[in-house]
Amino acid sequence: MGRGPSIEGRKNAEDAKRGKIFTKLIREITIAARNGGDPASNARLRMGIDKALAANMTKDTIERAVKRGSGADGADNMEELRYEGYGPGGVALIIDAMTDNSVRTVADVRHALSKHGGNLGTSGSVAFQFARVGEIVIDTPTAEAEEKLLEAALEAGADDIVVEGKRGTVLCAPEDFESIKAALLGAGFVPLSDDVVMRPANRVAVAGEVAETLHDLLDWLEELDDVQDVYHNAALADSP
């Protein structure tokens, strides 16, 4: 019998994963703070800070990121980039990145796509298939919970509620996201996930080897330090 990973090995892997998450959150806060360092008047910054606190980031770390982005603690040279392209099976992809070296980032993204049978597209080549929406996923284990969610979400001003299996996904305009999330929390719901995302209008079915290759590609992209978010229009088992 072979030995499994040691406790130290598992801890190192968890620390590395946590470090990557923190790096992405710090970049988001830093760039959001360019539009003002006060979260009360900067919705994007407020969302970034909420995510960081949920990930157990210290307030000192958050404050340093805010100061860096707002210019109070020296200028930063990060920029936001969006790549559009195709993965295996013609799946449409939107890849959002934050980087201090765009040459490195585009090379990394292009390499990941080409290794998995995909390619970069031009600006606008797939974006028309997506819409920017607020998305709040709620566990609805019973018919009563589903009915309660429908009532609370519609009363709060949600645009739509999509129920699949034991989960309800509340969709709303980005500018209504915070108020609707607050209303759902007030109604006793605890989101499984909540964010403003690029949601596809339709999803395409993928299976077998194509689905496996796509999963590998998504994992590869998520591991890239400069990549913040990846959106796709494939119908995968774990798609929201």
Q: Which CATH number is 62's domain given?
A: 1.10.10.200
Question: What digits encode the pLDDT tens for the residues 143-200?
Answer: 999 999 999 999 999 999 999 888 999 999 999 999 999 999 999 999 999 999 999 9
What is the number of domains present in the chain? Answer: 3
In a domain, 16, yes or no: yes
Q: What is the mean pLDDT of residues 83-98?
A: 96
Q: What is the mean pLDDT of residues 104-133?
A: 96
In a domain, 219, yes or no: yes
Lowest mean pLDDT among 55-59, 68-72, 185-189: 68-72
Cα separation of 25 and 52, whole Å?
6
Same domain, 208 and 195: no
Same domain, 62 and 98: no
The domain containing residue 64 runs over which residues?
7-70
pLDDT of amino acid 233: 96
pLDDT of amino acid 62: 92
Same domain, 62 and 20: yes
* Residue partners of 124: CB distance under 8 A and separation at least 6: 84
Confidence tier at 68 by pLDDT (50, 70, 90): confident
pLDDT of amino acid 137: 96
Same domain, 159 and 173: yes
In a domain, 2, yes or no: no
In a domain, 240, yes or no: no
- Please give the angle made by the CA atoms of 199, 188 and 178, to the nearest 5 degrees: 40
In a domain, 209, yes or no: yes
In a domain, 101, yes or no: yes
Same domain, 44 and 143: no
Cα separation of 157 and 180, whole Å?
7
Q: Which CATH number is 161's domain given?
A: 3.30.70.980
Same domain, 47 and 160: no
The pair phi, psi for residue 99, each rounded to 5°, is -150, 160
Read off the pTM. 0.82
